[in-house]
Amino acid sequence: MKSLFFSLALLCAMAVNAQKIQTVSFWVGGVCEMCEERIENTLDVKGVKVAEYSLENHKVTITYNTKKLNEAKLHELLNKAGHDTASSKASDDAYEKVHGCCKYRDPEVQKAHQHGEGDHHDHDDDHDDH
Ligand SMILES: [Cu+2]
């Protein structure tokens, strides 16, 4: 009985060990809450534990299982959704599909989404409906 417990404990330890969880953070092009939502939904896949996009610094932080995904794959997913990342660009086709107010490559759009200093999140009133 004792040895059974021991092997079970060992198996558990091995299972935990086999799951390699890693957190990465990199730049992703995006300007508004819609981008944030799109980015986070895009990363809602098997193997990703947490994905969070910050509009403050345009960085996404992803905690994922390296057994199921690798970093290149994460970039690829984002590129497919139309977002450029620090290491690879979205195809023009994919980029064209993002909403007009999300054209983060356009300097005019970037400017329109700049809200001066501070990090208040109450800037919904100057957006059109989305
Ligand atoms: Cu957007």
**Entry pTM:** 0.76
* CA 45–ligand 1 middle distance (angstroms): 20
- The total domain count for the chain is 1
Q: Is 128 inside a domain boundary? A: no
Residue 117 has a pLDDT of 47
* CA 109–ligand 1 middle distance (angstroms): 10
Burial class of residue 23 (count of CB atoms within 10 Å of its CB; 0-12, 13-18, 19+)? exposed
- Dist CA 95 CA 29 (whole Å): 11
* CA 36–ligand 1 middle distance (angstroms): 7
Q: Is 47 inside a domain boundary? A: yes
Task: Give pLDDT tens digits for 68-107.
Answer: 999 999 999 999 999 999 999 999 999 999 999 999 999 9
Q: Which domain holds residue 68?
A: 19-108
